[in-house]
A and B are shown apart, each in its own frame.
Chain A
Amino acid sequence: MEIKRRDFIKLVGGTSVSLAVGGCAMDEVLEIPDRLIHRVRTGPGIETWKNTICGLCPGGCGISVRMVDGLPVSIRGNPHYPVNLGGMCSLGLNALHMLYHPDRLKGPMKRTANPGSGRWEPITWDEALKIIAERLTELRGGQKSRQVAVLGYDERGLMEQHIARFMKAYGSPNYFRFSPSQNDMVPHSLLHGHSRIPAYDFLNAKLIVSFGSNFLGEGYSPVYYTKLYSHHRELQTQYIQVESRMSLTAANADKWVPIRPGTYGALALGIAYVLIREELYDARFVGGSTFGFEDWADRSGSRHLGFRSIVLGNYYPEKVSEITGVPTAAILELGRLLGNTPKSLVLGDGGAVDNTNGTFAQMAVQSLNALLGNYEAEGGVFFTDQAPVRPLPDVEVDAVAAAGSRSEPLTSSRDVPFPLSDFSIESFAKNILADSPYPLSVLFLYHGNPLFQTLNHLDFAGALKKIPLVVSFDSIINETSEYAHLILPEHTFLESWGEISDVPTVGFSHFGIQQPVVEPLHDTRGTGDVFTELARRVGGTVKSAAAFTDYREEVRYAAEGLFRSGQGAVVAKGQKQPWIEFLQRRGWQTGRYATFDEFWEQLLLNGGWWNPARKKKNLDELFTTPSGKFEFFSQRLNSEFNRLLLKLDETGSSRNLESVLSRLNISARGDNAMMPHHEAVPYEGDRPMYLVTFQVMPNRDGAGAALPLMQELFGYSVHSPWESWAEIHPETAAAAGVSNDDWVWVESSIGNVRVKAKITPGIMPDVVAIPFGMGHTSYGRYARGHGVNPNTIMRNLHDLVSGKPALEATKVRISRTS
């Protein structure tokens, strides 16, 4: 009795304190509209929870938002959502600060002075939309619909289709996305034929060798991989990390293999040498399901060298050791370990692909999976099915739209860099500046921050100044939207409808539903609805892109496909492994929802749908290359080079393959250029250190910098709150006379940055690492003026084939600031 009474008093005491404090603090906090504050102050304090999907990174974690009287107060992971199973990262936990951010735009804005002046005036939605719609109508009337472009970021699925439908009905080929992972699929498409990012069977693998892929801290879905990693420590799965700097993943791996930047492909081929020489490869898979392994003859009878000959001739361990800095013994050991461990798996990302030779390096890494026969094997590589969403209805295309969409997109360029890239901001900016092949009149900027994130931001800034109408949807003005003429601020993900489905590399098809947990705090709108409204205002056949009353209806329409497919299930409690296996054996069916309305209700309640059951594919239906096999010799790349050859021929400038390759700055010649090979990165010789960058969990792609808590946690691993730093090896630091926390200059041929030195043994002696994400000159009061942006001192180099930014292609010198 006594205990209970004491607890009772404690409880009452606790509650009264919390009420008083809750009341006093809320209005001082970030920025919460008065009406909501009032509700919390006078409300009964009722707690509710709502499930949605986190929108701060592409990872697609299911979250549960806790609300008191309808005001979101905290976020937890949704314990039943299969991607994260209740886990969260620091960034997602802090999403409410984004909702309540004091620098969020309260409504549409119009710039009244020069870009960067920060002088904006409010404008009504109606006025803003009127300006845009009139311009769009006028352009269309003059058969100039192609002069409108949308530059998106990492949107996928429905939102991507939504914008694409608008552009198709309107009549422009210029919808691009520039996210860092945008061209990730290029090497995969060369080897596999289709543009899908493979998933890896971590669950069953026994050995995982990662080439630069910091899957625990960067990549598509760190929380998903953290779950996998931690649950397999007991299974004795061995992790080996090949990387220049000890990233979060390397720190957690069983072994770290330091490697010189830009040489990951060479190491992979050195390992291939060991596998081939010691006959440790899967002869059955290689013999039956690959093309170009042995020497071969084409239809005209000319002989070509196979992968085997090229690897055995060029990538013997001593030579690879010289290129990569990895000792010969370590190369042999890695090769033997991979070859002799059943269910060993290889993946590549990060530093391995973020370089001028990234495509070839990724091809080399994936070739190891082919040698090991990992495709569709247990503990290997597979391609997930797509969630069976209902395809949106076709849009109507009139003559104007048809002509517009047929025009050459503004990204393609006469001097042909990056033959296979979907989009390169480099050629986009150049084309805009040169009005070639036609001028750009209207640009919509949807998400991302190219002026902060890309390497060649100066060109792009020039391009932005030139475009007569730039429209942004950002809710906090950032470096790029400073250049916009109009900003139509979007809801945060906590206020809007959406879906995040089939996150790349996550091992099952899934569909997460994003729903508003709170009514919009400010006068903002969902961008899906804005495009719909614009389609309505432009009218005519463009109106067919506005087939749904609002974006919520569109999400609901797409979700109906899940219900109709009869596959998978709404995520729910208790969907654990034995249950899944049981269902897998007996055929996986929902069967619990009589109608779609019921299904939809469950979907909103639980946060998503998934289908862990996947039918194993036959090897012959896996690849869609010309040969129908895994191609060591990429016929697609070959025909791409031939296409360029014809293109160059027209201009009379050249005649043979060699000239195409030299125009692309590819140093390999002959068949080598179509195959995985080591392409030397054109480093400058006069600076001793390689510069590499990395993302940290609290910041990711630079977006976390708006959040004060994430700024404080930015350098949590090295005690560097609110500040950038440079990681330097102790030997290097000693030689340069630098001690921990000294300020140093890191200087490249492009420029220099001043950062604090953090001396750490977890980096190669000739490498210096600076985290990406700080150094904002805009983007709200908490981001501006802290730390440095390492991209500003990087050379403007890109992957020779895919156009991905080469983030590890710059050399620098460090010196103490005096």
Chain B
Amino acid sequence: MAKWAMAIDLDRCTGCGACMAACKMENNVPIVEPDEALQGRVMHWMDMITEYGGDYPGIEIKRMPKPCFHCDNPPCTRVCPVGATYRNEEGLVAQVYHRCIGCRYCMVACPFTAKVFNWKDPAWIEGASTCFNPDVSRRMVGVVEKCTFCSHRLMKVKETADEEDRPINDGEYVPACAEICPADAIYFGDIEDKGSSVYKMSGDYRASRVMEDLGVEPKVYYLVKRTR
């Protein structure tokens, strides 16, 4: 059974934000109204963390794209009172929107603030919303949503691979962010497959996971910047 994981090379990543836009377009993530956005209700499945370090003028700006980490030991699934979120056999932490009652326990439980809440039905400013990708359902008001690793793409790839009676090749299934990254900084694939690029990257000397001591076993690895 495949186990899908991601590695983000922060040495290559410039922090341009293209992954954020790609994600929103691919997954029909709502654009919220400006005043709501300013209250912190912006919905990004792929977020960007900015952190400053160093002393002037040796300032360092670290930018870190942050999707859902699809933890192997996910804290969000345990607190869900209705079983609306679960970890499937392939390691994807999935959401069942129709079951979600909007209690937002999972948002609190997630140490990485990966989840966002639909405060409104996804129609906004003069009737416009953003449903473009017909492969992804729209979410309704009052439910929690988050990055799915573009699992709708996995379904399609599986279909093709099944038809051709072969395993899924490395790089055949990648989420939108990894696909369009202009810096080729996002690696994605089956971490159980020793030939996959994500397996190699996750074993790199620069690789680590965020807050590893929590024991939630995230499946997104970050490779730190090389220093000169």
Contact = CB atoms under 8 A, between A and B. Distances in A.
- Whether both chains belong to one complex is answered with yes
A90 B19 CA distance: 7
Given A74-B132, A709-B31, A697 B17 contact: yes
A248 B137 contact: no
A4 interface: yes
Contact of A89 (B16, B37, B38, B54): B16
Nearest to B134: A22
B209 interface: no
Given A226-B16, A711-B34, A781-B125, A94 B185 contact: no
B61 A14 contact: no
Given A18-B134, A223-B182, A713-B20, A251 B15 contact: yes
A246 B12 contact: no
A721 B183 contact: no
Contact of A18 (B13, B24, B137): B137
Nearest to B19: A90
A227 B20 CA distance: 18
Interface in B13-63: 13-18, 20-22, 24-26, 28, 31-32, 34, 37-38, 42, 48, 50, 52, 54, 56-59, 61, 63
A698 B12 contact: no
Contact of B12 (A21, A230, A256, A710): A230
A11 B21 contact: no
A28 B14 contact: no
Contacts of B28: 25
Looking at A17, A716, A718, A760, which has the most chain B CB atoms within 10 Å of its CB?
Answer: A716
B194 interface: no
Interface in A711-768: 711-713, 716-718, 721-723, 729, 760-762, 765
Interface in B180-228: 180-185, 226, 228
A6 to B, nearest CB: 9
A586 B49 CA distance: 49
B48 A716 contact: yes
B134 A216 contact: no
Interface stretch (B76-84, B107-115, B155-163): B155-163
Q: Is the interface of A mostly helix, strand, loop or mixed?
A: mixed
Contact of B59 (A18, A102, A227, A256): A256
Could you say which of A90, A222, A698, A717 has the most chain B C-beta atoms within 10 Å of its C-beta?
A90
B22 to A, nearest CB: 5
A93 B126 contact: no
A708 B128 contact: yes
Contacts of B131: 21-22, 25-26, 28-29
A229 B133 contact: no
B73 interface: no
Interface string A65-99: 00010000111110000001011111101101100
B172 interface: no
A73 B133 contact: yes
A94 B20 CA distance: 11
B59 A93 contact: no
- Size range of the chain B interface in the assembly: 35 or more
Contacts of B104: none
A45 B57 contact: no
Most buried by B among A22, A94, A97: A22
Contacts of B38: 721-723
B11 interface: yes
B52 A230 contact: no
A94 B130 CA distance: 11
A77 B63 CA distance: 23
Contact of B26 (A40, A74, A89, A698): A74
Nearest to B97: A17
B170 interface: no
Contacts of A94: 21, 25
Contact of B50 (A45, A86, A227, A718): A718
B173 to A, nearest CB: 13
Contact of B25 (A93, A258, A718): A93
B72 interface: no
Contacts of A388: none
A87 B34 contact: no
Contact of B130 (A11, A709, A782): A709
A246 B57 CA distance: 10
Contacts of A246: 59, 61
A238 interface: yes
A603 interface: no
A7 interface: yes
A297 interface: no
With a 10 A CB-CB cut-off, give which of A74, A84, A217 has the most chain B CB atoms. Answer: A74
A33 B131 CA distance: 15
A160 B99 CA distance: 57
A257 interface: yes
A127 B48 CA distance: 51
A585 interface: no
Contact of A102 (B126, B130, B158): B126
A24 to B, nearest CB: 8
A527 to B, nearest CB: 27
B59 A231 contact: no
B14 A87 contact: no
Contacts of B32: 712
Interface in A16-49: 17-22, 24-26, 28-30, 40, 45
Contacts of B42: 712, 721
A708 B134 contact: no
A28 B131 CA distance: 9
B24 A781 contact: no
B129 A14 contact: no
Contacts of A781: 125-126
Given A90-B16, A230-B14, A722 B34 contact: yes
Contacts of A22: 131, 134
B100 interface: no
Contacts of A217: 16
Given A18-B136, A708-B31, 8 more contacts: A11-B158, A24-B138, A89-B18, A90-B17, A226-B182, A227-B182, A227-B184, A716-B48
9 contacts: A29-B130, A40-B134, A86-B179, A87-B183, A89-B16, A256-B59, A258-B57, A697-B18, A723-B38
